[in-house]
């Protein structure tokens, strides 16, 4: 296994880690329901499941 010969300084380590930051997810708004959701994902509105603005699974009433 690789083993460092010298200690890596905090500044050098932190310079390498500057690109490791959290990115806010991009969100889209459905034109049909107006719900905000992740793109290319199914989403729920009032118990109904939608994808691409179309109703996939309708909520059934409990008997």
Query: Which whole number is the average pLDDT over 9-21?
Result: 91
pLDDT value at residue 13: 92
pLDDT digits (tens, 9 = 90+) for 18-47: 888 888 999 999 999 999 999 999 999 999
Domain containing residue 62: 23-63
Could you tell me if residue 43 is inside a domain? yes
Total domains present in the chain:
1
% of the chain exceeding 90 in pLDDT: 71
Contact 31, 53 (CB under 8 A): yes
Q: In this structure, is residue 34 part of a structural domain?
A: yes
The secondary structure of 34-62, three-state, reads CCEECCCCCEEECCEEEECCEEEECCCCC
């Amino acid at each position: 296994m690789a083993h460092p010969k010298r200690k890596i300084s905090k500044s050098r380590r932190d310079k390498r880690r500057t690109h490791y930051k959290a990115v806010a997810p991009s969100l889209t708004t459905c034109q049909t329901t107006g719900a905000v959701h992740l793109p290319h994902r199914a989403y729920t509105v009032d118990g109904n499941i939608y994808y691409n603005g179309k109703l996939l699974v309708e909520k059934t009433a409990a008997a």
